Amino acid sequence: MVRGGTGENLTKEQLGGAAVHRRNGTIERFAASEEDAFEIIADFLSYLPPSVYQIPPVTACHDPGGRREESLLSAVPRDARKPYRIQLILEAIFDHGSVLPYAEYGGATVTALARLQGHPVGVIATDPYRGTTMSLEGALAITRLVDLCETFHLPLVSLTDQGGITIGRAAEERGTIRHAARAIAAVYQARVPQAELIVRRVYGVAGAGMINRHRVGRSWGWPSGDWGSLPVQAGVEAAFRAQLAAAADAQAEIERIRRTLSAVTSPFRTAERFGVQDLIDPRDSRPLLCEWVQDAYRVLPELTGRPAFGTRP
């Protein structure tokens, strides 16, 4: 059909093999063998209830809910230009061995299933080694995970480090902003309990859309947190264009504005103005989330049944 209809002379692998679908959002996970595939399926299903009329299964957990990992104190470098290993943070916060990667195509956007004291949750995070903004593929990954959690009643946890929606000509040509808005709409439509640890950046619409900020939820900020509409390093030229045009030395004025903004940029100022509920010691992240998930699961029975909207294809 393809050869006759389009003139393309392709093998089945060239037309629709793993290399084609690995990054386009069609397939969530790839397995090395059939045995590995069945193992992934079994692990995946262990996080979900038998049907939408039940809550996710809570399993026995021997990982203390009060565990405080010293590594979290230095997990995020003080230099905002340096990346960090998100996997190490996930392992320090969630039950040992419980983090199951979900969409492999998300790029900088990390999605996963995990457990907090045996309670299944969905996780959204960022891998700074692959970027900090939400790409089209990252938006697809978030939409898929959130719809899964809404359908099967898994609470959502965001480890927020979001630099905004990916920009540039390629992003515009691909309609990235439309897919990002769709992902954020999915987050705001979801009825499941949501919690957030602000690890670093909360910029732009994408940063605001990592959890539903128009409803009751828990949000804790680390001292490494950084909030704003635009990042200081990239936003001065856009926000102060007229002022820079009138300056005798535009570059010197840029540096002066950056120094001024940096002097007033502080997570403590944000907390004082209720931009975040609490600033916490990063080592308290797991204990606080384990307390929160107990409350989250108390309200889940009210959400059982068919979801208000179906899982988006």
- Mapped to the 3 state alphabet, what secondary structure does 31-51 carry? CCCHHHHHHHHHHHHCCCCCC
Q: How far is CA 248 from CA 171, 241, 281, 293, in A?
A: 35, 13, 45, 56
Assess contact for 136 and 171: CB atoms under 8 A: yes
Contact (CB, 8 A) for 68 and 74 = no
Rounded CA gap, 289 and 115, in Å? 10
Q: How many angstroms separate the Cα of 304 from the Cα of each of 48, 151, 153, 192, 248?
A: 12, 9, 7, 10, 64
CA 270 from centre of chain: 21
Instruction: Please tell me what DSSP assigns to residue 95.
Output: P
pLDDT at 263: 65
Confidence (pLDDT) at 233: 62
Phi-psi region of 117 (alpha: psi -120 to 50; beta: other; left: phi over 0): left
Sorted by sequence, the CB contacts under 8 Å of residue 195 that are 6+ apart come out as 155, 156, 157, 158, 211, 217, 218, 219, 220, 289, 292, 296
Q: What is the dihedral of CA 38, 28, 30, 174, to 10 degrees?
A: 170
How many other CB atoms sit within 10 Å of the CB of residue 282?
24
Residue 118, both tokens: 């045996």
* Beta-bridge partner residues of 203: 228
Domains of the chain listed by start with CATH number = 15-59+72-303 (3.90.226.10)
Which residues of the chain carry a pLDDT beneath 50?
Answer: none
